[in-house]
Amino acid sequence: MEAMDTLSDHLKTRVIELKKLQDEGRKIIGYTPGGYMPEELVYACDAVPVGLIRGGEHEPVLYAGAYLPRWMDTFCRAQIGYKMLGEDPSYQMVDLLAVPLTDNNIRAVADCWDFYTDTEVFRFGIPHDKSDFAFNYYLDGINLLKEKLESLTGNKMDEAKLKEAIDLCNRERELLKEISLMRMSDQSPISARDFIDLNHSSFLADKSVMVEALESVCTEMKKQEPARSMKGPRILLTGSTLARGDYKILSLIEETGAEVVIEEFAEGMRHYWETVNPDGDFMEALADRYFKRRVPPAWFRPGRERLDFLIKLAKDFKVDGVIWYQLMYRDSYDFESYYFPPMLEKETGLHMLKIESDYDASEIGPFRTRVETYIETIRR
Amino acid sequence: MYTELFTLCGYEPEEIEKETPRIERAFEKAKLGREDIERAENRLREYFDTTSFGVRKSLKIWMEQFIDMVLAREEGKKIIYPSYPTVPDITLAINMASEDVFCQTPELVLDMVMGQIFGKIDPILEAAEAHGLSQGLAMCSLNQARVGGIIQGIAPMPDLLLGTGFFCDQTPKTDDYLHEVYGIPMVIMDGCMDSSWDEFPEISSRRVKALGIEIRRAMEECQDALGIKITDELLEESFSDFTKLWTSLFMLWDYMKNDPQPMSLVDLGPLWWMATSPDRRALTEGIQVIAQLIREMHQKVKEGKGVVPKGAPKVLIFCHQATDPRVMRMIENAGIAVPTTALIGVTASQAAAFADTKYTIWEEKVANNMLSHGLYHSTPGCIHRYRELCQTWNVDGVLNFYHFSCRAYCIAPLMIKSAIEEDAGIPVLSLEGDFYDTRQYSAESLKTRVETFADMLTIKAASRSG
């Protein structure tokens, strides 16, 4: 699609553009992509958000071993490795790392950046249930983030700017959702790889360019006749993190002729199901969208809401199988991967395949065998 | 059959006779037979100082806990399992509120008795591994013991799980697992370690108040679930009793500053673990045992007796192994004095927080005290604690034996090494291990690195003394 080519070109020069913006005085705000960071606050302060979503490579994971014992989540170790290796400009140029603190794996990223580098880190806690107290704690946290951003940028956040940012981010979410819903069709008009690519791009691209690209993709998809041909089993891909560049599992699934038609990940994929309600107090509206209404990851307890959501997605998208792709040592997901399969089978009759990765190339062979066997067993 | 074992554990003959029916029932449920009893007797003789009356009595406290726990359901008790780390004040307050409630951390009871004493923790861990808490995936062996103990029926199915999520996130997820799989109700005291890097030793009132609210909410939910009443007076009383318990424990630990080190950490371990999750027994028998051990320590110091030679290099360790006394004995046998751990002792910054009168309501005082420890506050809080303890104990090195699967602590070891070596010039050995499982990290597998570290400290000390 032409729009995707345009977006791809934009991303190729994005780092240079970011550097120019930084030289002009704009602040670059890096953040961990767990879905709890309201980018709207960054835009409303005239700063630029950059989601740190790179992954899939083993070298940074190994490199992080000099700073952190290996028994933490692979993606989180990679975020430490990328920073310490100093090779990726987008990790080097951030003026502030904002960390919505979801669990100890993410805390490890914040702490290593704080201890071993000069980059300033701002943490705000994500409580692990949805009580009123937890909501208020999150709201308080994003208010502190707002103050921090204002002081860092020297720009006071006014209501008009925040409203404008909310509208822009809402539009992005609406479009991602619209495209995602088209994948419910028996002949999904977009491949999983393209959709994930769009989603990942949204963490890095200029928001206006991104929205424009999504509008074009949406229009093109509606015009597309005939739709892509889909014959293989339909897959729900879920797990802890799907980082940009971590496409090994997708390739293996594609090679078997199966197709991922919906994804649900705690980190790495932008959550697009809900929008911010722009009425009333904007900060409360952000907390309502990002904390209260967002389907929580496995580190919530109880964690049932997400499992029920997965079952709903499996039904809505008429999938034939569920592949649980998690990264090593993300223990909350390990727990759920034990008791979710019987729930899934009871509700949908589907079986689940669990795959665990440490971003190691040597995993490909065993993964291929397991994925191929699984797809063979579910093939209609 | 039980006489020798229970005598080694400080029981009097008449107590053994009276308790025999309960012992038999408990041992049957735990599948402990003659062979296990013989192994336990040998382990106690080999690794514990069973000539010490105080040590035997401290083992007795755990043996009593174990029998109480195994029989709690059939003896008609309401059962509540706090998880580790506990909020000890709550454990104590619940225990003080009703004698009809068994409130104790089962994983600690199992580690101390099935692990330390019987050397039979592995089947419990394996039971958890067969039910989703797989080996090799950084599943904490303490959480495995919690799950495995329940699966095996050694720890009866509880009425309520009381979890904590302000430090470790695997602990509450373990309770979520038990809730989902077995339908056990749970209450979690949540928290977020989101202080700024340079906050400690200050503690933001935001975090104190948040943890306080969670503690109060948990307390109220426990009362509703168990049908007990915990008055504010009782809470203040438990706060005061808890302070007294720890004050007397610190008095005991002060004797460990003597050269030669008068006792092994193995022998003081049961008391320390008891104080981290105290019940009524800790306030009565526990305080008596501490007084007894103070007398014994005093005598040992007077006679110049020690577990390591005088002048042995002295190290600070993070925490001692809870299920296998052989690890600590191996360290001492390498010629290293290990008088204390990073979890014990009141640092100056802690003392300042204790003296702070800003917080007057019970739960906020408890929260403030817990966060001032450092470990529960943040990684910088943990590093700060190490710095202070190295100074207070004037150690020659830090043996940072860390629990590899501890999600919360695993962030800090290499930072501690860097900070302590660079700032204080004290050598640090960062030693990956497991506090509650020695299948992969046995004393033998750790020995070479510990001995090399001991040699290095000895050479350093010799070159210093000229």
Out of B188, B217, B405, the one facing A301 most closely (by C-beta) is: B188
Cβ neighbours for B275, distance < 8 A, ≥ 6 positions apart: B88, B245, B246, B249, B282, B286
The rounded percent of chain A whose pLDDT value lies above 90 is: 94
3-state secondary structure of A356: strand
CA distance B267 to B284: 19
Which chain A residues are within 8 Å of B379, Cβ to Cβ?
107, 111, 115
Element (H, E) at B429: strand B428-433
ipTM score above 0.90? yes
Instruction: Give me the sign of the Cα torsion angle B208, A109, B167, B269.
Output: negative
Burial environment of residue A160 by CB neighbours within 10 A (0 to 12, 13 to 18, 19 or more)? exposed
User: What's the pLDDT score for residue A230?
Assistant: 75
Selected for mutation to probe chain B from A144, A334, A339 (highest B CB count within 10 Å) is: A334
CA nearest neighbour of B399 among B356, B441, B337, B348: B337
Which pair of structure tokens corresponds to residue B65?
A: 């806990």
Mean pLDDT, residues A281-304 taken together = 96
Strand segments, DSSP code E, in chain A are 28-31, 48-51, 96-101, 120-125, 234-241, 259-267, 321-327, 352-357
Which chain B residues are within 8 Å of A140, Cβ to Cβ?
206
3-state secondary structure of A297: coil
CA distance B336 to B108: 27
User: What's the pLDDT score for residue B254?
Assistant: 95
Selected for mutation to probe chain B from A84, A121, A128 (highest B CB count within 10 Å) is: A128
Chain centroid to Cα A109, Å, comes to 16
Task: Note whether B415 contacts A111, CB cutoff 8 Å.
Answer: yes
CA distance B273 to B277: 7
User: What's the pLDDT score for residue A164?
Assistant: 97
The answer to whether residue A232 neighbours chain B at the CB level (below 8 Å) is no
CA distance A47 to A27: 5
Task: Note whether B177 contacts A304, CB cutoff 8 Å.
Answer: no
Answer whether 0.80 is exceeded by the pTM: yes
* Local confidence band at A223 (pLDDT 50, 70, 90 cut-offs): confident
B433 φ, ψ (degrees, to nearest 5): -160, -165
Mean pLDDT, residues A269-297 taken together = 96
Residue with tokens 């340079």: B198
pLDDT in tens, A309-351: 999 999 999 999 999 999 999 999 999 999 999 999 999 999 9
* Local confidence band at A170 (pLDDT 50, 70, 90 cut-offs): very high
CA distance B13 to B18: 9
Task: Note whether A334 contacts B132, CB cutoff 8 Å.
Answer: yes
Cβ neighbours for B285, distance < 8 A, ≥ 6 positions apart: B57, B60, B61
The answer to whether residue A114 neighbours chain B at the CB level (below 8 Å) is yes
> How many contiguous H segments (helices) and E segments (strands) does chain B have?
20, 8
Task: Note whether B190 contacts A123, CB cutoff 8 Å.
Answer: no
The answer to whether residue A358 neighbours chain B at the CB level (below 8 Å) is no
Task: Note whether A115 contacts B415, CB cutoff 8 Å.
Answer: yes
CA distance A121 to A99: 7
Task: Note whether B206 contacts A303, CB cutoff 8 Å.
Answer: no
Which pair of structure tokens corresponds to residue B248?
A: 């007397």
Cβ neighbours for A115, distance < 8 A, ≥ 6 positions apart: B197, B379, B415, B418
| Torsion angle in degrees (nearest 10) through CA of A154, A155, A156, A161 | -170
Helix runs in B154-286, H state only: 170-182, 205-226, 232-254, 265-276, 280-281
CA distance B387 to B424: 8
pLDDT at A226 over 70: no
Which chain A residues are within 8 Å of B185, Cβ to Cβ?
none
Are the C-beta atoms of residues B413 and B402 closer than 8 Å to each other? yes
Task: Note whether B197 contacts A335, CB cutoff 8 Å.
Answer: no
Mean pLDDT, residues A151-159 taken together = 97
The distance of B231 to chain A (nearest Cα, Å) reads: 23
CA distance A339 to A324: 13
Low-confidence ranges of chain B (pLDDT < 70): 465-466
CA distance B134 to A174: 40
Which pair of structure tokens corresponds to residue B169?
A: 């996130």
pLDDT in tens, A82-113: 999 999 999 999 999 999 999 999 999 999 99
Residues 252-291 of A with CB under 8 A from B: none
CA nearest neighbour of B89 among B251, B212, B221: B212
Are the C-beta atoms of residues B136 and B146 closer than 8 Å to each other? no
B202 φ, ψ (degrees, to nearest 5): -70, 150
Task: Note whether A126 contacts B139, CB cutoff 8 Å.
Answer: no
pLDDT at A32 over 80: yes
Selected for mutation to probe chain B from A335, A337, A340, A356 (highest B CB count within 10 Å) is: A335
The answer to whether residue A128 neighbours chain B at the CB level (below 8 Å) is yes
How confident is the prediction for chain A on average, in pLDDT? 96
